[in-house]
Structure 1
């Protein structure tokens, strides 16, 4: 399943291709799995292709990032080693036979998930594989957003991907993500890429069982009342604009007092606190885009764009929410 990349795409491109399997092993070590995973081809004949479809184009793992690769081999392949301490990998076998052992146990599944410091051995016969790499910090930050507090332990996914109807839909989503990235659309629309990545990550956390699935199951449900949903939608659509409580009440078609009571009962927040959370999430996504080279600007630029004019209070709020300063997320100084 070779990709046709858009001309001039800075991200989606071929990492290495050809029939020199010594070069393949060297590239794999330097780019995809430095110092931890060994790649071996028992019969080094045929051809190969490693392509990066999305993510920051640097060797190694970006702890705050997400990237997708495709590995196609007209040969046999053995991968053996230990996942880095900073990453998860979802390995999706599109074509070819596979046999996978994780932490000494054979995993009876075509698709698997490895976590930080997981030991594994994978044998493939003429494979076509998608690799979704997730930074450990990205997963931890996402769980913090979902639960409202930082996880107290490292999240561990079940290694076997069982293809339920929900997981089948997620796999289709991953495939679509790779094709869209390869088309170059995400180069032209970093915001679309950011939203798609978030959908992909949240979908994985909701679909693939893991050590914190029970915590997610206890999340506060989204409100059922129409008035609160209307106000939430208005917040999300007008987050970059000045918004008053009166405007939210008009959008919800009820009085200000009734809207405040409804938000408190269903979300445990005031309407303006919810709006602030929406804006802060936009700030977080914009700072991640800067860190990944998809956007330019400073922390100050981003904060002002989303209505945070008091930078000291903004930094404190951001740190309380995400466990780090905004400049640490963007890897720049305000």
Structure 2
């Protein structure tokens, strides 16, 4: 198993043991449970880079507790049972994803099943600074609910892809490119889903609206020199000496694409060259080559490869 992927499963019917894990993982303190019920807890966690995906099941007696939300950005989605939580008069929604506030809140739960995505605040703030091109930016979330139904669905779709398609795929997770891109993707969607200083700033951010083509040329040169490297939109924009937003607009205008789509196509071309040179009789596989170049979802990779090169990757390997 790759050392950069942390997987753990915990299960207990001992209330004292379970409450201790509540404190350790979720910073839930002062837990009180009704004495007339059983206790059954299962927690499964998978972590990569600065992101962890957790599935928790709490069956039996109802419980109440106080949670210290500081030090982590955690989005919860209740899939069964009941969770009621309040903080400073703000009651969390009982359906759909919600962001735990970065302060103490009280909660009550009964026969609960939920998924959570936890992100390191410092890493997300650094990602936001790079996206905005502002080293002094301070990240602060001002609400717990998504800003719109569309962003609710976007968040859920991103998490579903992360949990269903990427995390179980040990080959994909062995790729540093895939791990880093998955973590950045979740951070980006988080920043756009929940109200806060990032949306306030990005909505009024000013970038180059009519930059010189030299910026695009610098970006293209950087991409072509770093096809195999772990780079994201902020890295490309920095190389182009432009803002992320300005570079996006320039790529749309000059090349009718985006910087990350250009990078994806460059990686598809690299896969194509490697498949042409590979010998399937020596154990070379499409999956291994694709993962090496950052493609973790086999179906999406195959469709993108076919769109660009006019044939299935397996056909290229056999040619």
Distance 1:231 1:17 in 2: 54
Distance 2:2 2:133 in 1: 42
Query: Which of residues 23, 26, 44 is equivalent to 1:51?
Result: 44
Contact 2:57 2:112 in 1 (8 A): yes
Pairwise CA distance, 1:168: 1.0
Distance 1:178 1:195 in 2: 14
Helix, strand or coil for the counterpart of 2:225? coil
2:68 is matched with which residue?
Answer: 82
Say whether residues 1:17 and 2:11 are aligned partners: yes
1:101 is matched with which residue?
Answer: 86
Distance 1:17 1:8 in 2: 23
Distance 1:224 1:96 in 2: 53
Query: Which of residues 66, 85, 89 is equivalent to 2:51?
Result: 66
Contact 1:55 1:66 in 2 (8 A): yes
Distance 2:215 2:152 in 1: 27
1:195 is matched with which residue?
Answer: 181
Alignment of 1:210-229 (within 5 A): 210-220=196-206
CA 1:10–1:230 in 2, change beyond 3 Å: closer, same or farther? closer
Pairwise CA distance, 1:142: 1.4
Contact 1:143 1:150 in 2 (8 A): no
Alignment of 1:247-258 (within 5 A): none
Pairwise CA distance, 1:237: 4.2
Query: Relative to structure 2, which stretch is displaced further, 130-139 or 156-165?
Result: 156-165
CA 1:204–1:152 in 2, change beyond 3 Å: closer, same or farther? closer
TM-score normalized by the length of structure 1: 0.58
CA 1:125–1:148 in 2, change beyond 3 Å: closer, same or farther? same
CA 1:222–1:197 in 2, change beyond 3 Å: closer, same or farther? farther
Distance 1:148 1:230 in 2: 17
TM-score normalized by the length of structure 2: 0.60
Alignment of 1:1-334 (within 5 A): 11-14=6-9, 16-30=10-24, 32-34=25-27, 37-42=29-34, 44-55=37-48, 65-75=50-60, 76-84=62-70, 86-110=71-95, 111-116=97-102, 118-161=103-146, 164-179=149-164, 180-220=166-206, 231=217, 234-235=220-221, 237-240=223-226, 267=247
CA 1:19–1:149 in 2, change beyond 3 Å: closer, same or farther? same
Distance 1:222 1:96 in 2: 49
Pairwise CA distance, 1:90: 1.1
Pairwise CA distance, 1:161: 3.4
Distance 2:223 2:64 in 1: 49
Helix, strand or coil for the counterpart of 2:167? helix
CA 1:128–1:222 in 2, change beyond 3 Å: closer, same or farther? farther
Contact 2:42 2:57 in 1 (8 A): yes
Contact 1:206 1:213 in 2 (8 A): yes
Distance 2:173 2:30 in 1: 32
Q: Please list every run of 5 or more consecutive structure 2 residues that lacks an aligned counterpart in the other structure.
A: 228-239, 252-258, 264-319
Alignment RMSD? 3.9
Contact 2:101 2:143 in 1 (8 A): no
**Cα deviations across residues 114-160 of structure 1 (Å, max 9, x unaligned)?**
243x1212222212111222222112201211221234544124112
Q: Please list every run of 5 or more consecutive structure 1 residues that lacks an aligned counterpart in the other structure.
A: 1-5, 57-64, 242-259, 272-277, 283-334
**Cα deviations across residues 238-281 of structure 1 (Å, max 9, x unaligned)?**
2337xxxxxxxxxxxxxxxxxx9x99xx659x99xxxxxx9xxx
Distance 2:197 2:170 in 1: 36
